[in-house]
Amino acid sequence: MSWCGRPGKGVLPDAAQSRFAGTMIRVRFFTILRLLVKRADVILDRRGISVRDLLDDAQRAVPVPFLHKVLDDEGKMKRGTLILVNGRHVQHLDGLDTIIEDGDEVSLFPPGGGG
């Protein structure tokens, strides 16, 4: 796994704190996902978790099913789905295996386009 080059990061948290303290991660819903789940975000108390697991946890925290808008039947990202970690597409990190750290912001977009 590689966390290098991820933009928007501040000073890394103290290792001990990171290990034992709870970590708040904000998962933000955009475009038609927001219309679907009728909320802008969900805050999860997690640490060292993959995007894949974070999505499952976010789904459990939201009553309306939304994962089918971003993942296919095999659990892979649908073509055109955007999952951004601090503004960087996970495809240019470690995909759904990208590990989310303290204070990260995860933005979810189903396939979208315009111009």
Partner 1 sequence: MKVTDAGVLRVNLSKGTFVEESVGEDMYKMYLGGRGMAAKLLSDEIDPAIDALSPDNKLIFANGLLSGTSAPTGGRYMVITKSPLTGTIASSNSGGIFGAVMRRTGYLMIVIEGRSPKPVYISINDNTVEIKDAVHLWGLGTAAATDKILQEFGEKRASVSCIGPAGEKLSKIACIINDKHRAAGRSGVGAVMGSKNLKAIVVKGSNPIESEEKDQFSAYAKEKTKMLKENAVTGEGLPALGTKVLDSIINQSGLYPTRNFQFATFEDTEEVSGEALVAKGYLKSNKACFGCPIACGRYTVLPGGREGEGPEYESGWAFGADCGVNDLIAITEANFICNDLGLDTISTGTTIAAAMEMYEKGYIKKEDLQNGPEMKFGSSEAVVYYTRMTGMREGFGDLLAEGSYRLGEHFGHPELSMSVKKQELPAYDPRGVQGHGLSYATSNRGGCHVRGYLISPEILGSPEKLDPQELTGKPQWVKTFQDLTAVIDSAGLCLFSSFALGLQDYTDLINGATGFSMTAEEVLTIGERIWNLERDFNLKAGISPVTDSLPERFLEPIPDGPQKGAVSHVQQLLPEYYSLRGWNKDGTIPKGKLKQLGLENAKVVLVRKTG
Taking CB under 8 A as the criterion, the residue among 13, 26, 32, 39 binding partner 1 is 32
Q: Is 89 in the site for partner 1 (CB under 8 A)?
A: yes
Taking CB under 8 A as the criterion, the residue among 23, 59, 81, 98 binding partner 1 is 81
d(CA 90, CA 51): 9
CB–CB of 105/28 below 8 Å?
A: yes
Region of 112 please: left (phi>0), alpha (psi -120 to 50) or beta: beta
Q: Is 10 in the site for partner 1 (CB under 8 A)?
A: no
- The dihedral through the CA atoms of 82, 86, 87, 90 has a sign that is negative
SS3 assignment, position 86: coil
Structure tokens at 110: 């189903």
Sole window of 12-20, 32-40, 53-61, 96-104 interacting with partner 1 (rule: CB under 8 A): 32-40
Q: Is 112 in the site for partner 1 (CB under 8 A)?
A: yes
Q: Is 82 in the site for partner 1 (CB under 8 A)?
A: yes
Q: Is 52 in the site for partner 1 (CB under 8 A)?
A: no
Taking CB under 8 A as the criterion, the residue among 8, 63, 65, 75 binding partner 1 is 8
d(CA 60, CA 65): 9
Contact residues: partner 1, CB under 8 A: 7-8, 28, 30-32, 34-35, 40, 69, 78-82, 84, 86-89, 91-92, 107, 109-115
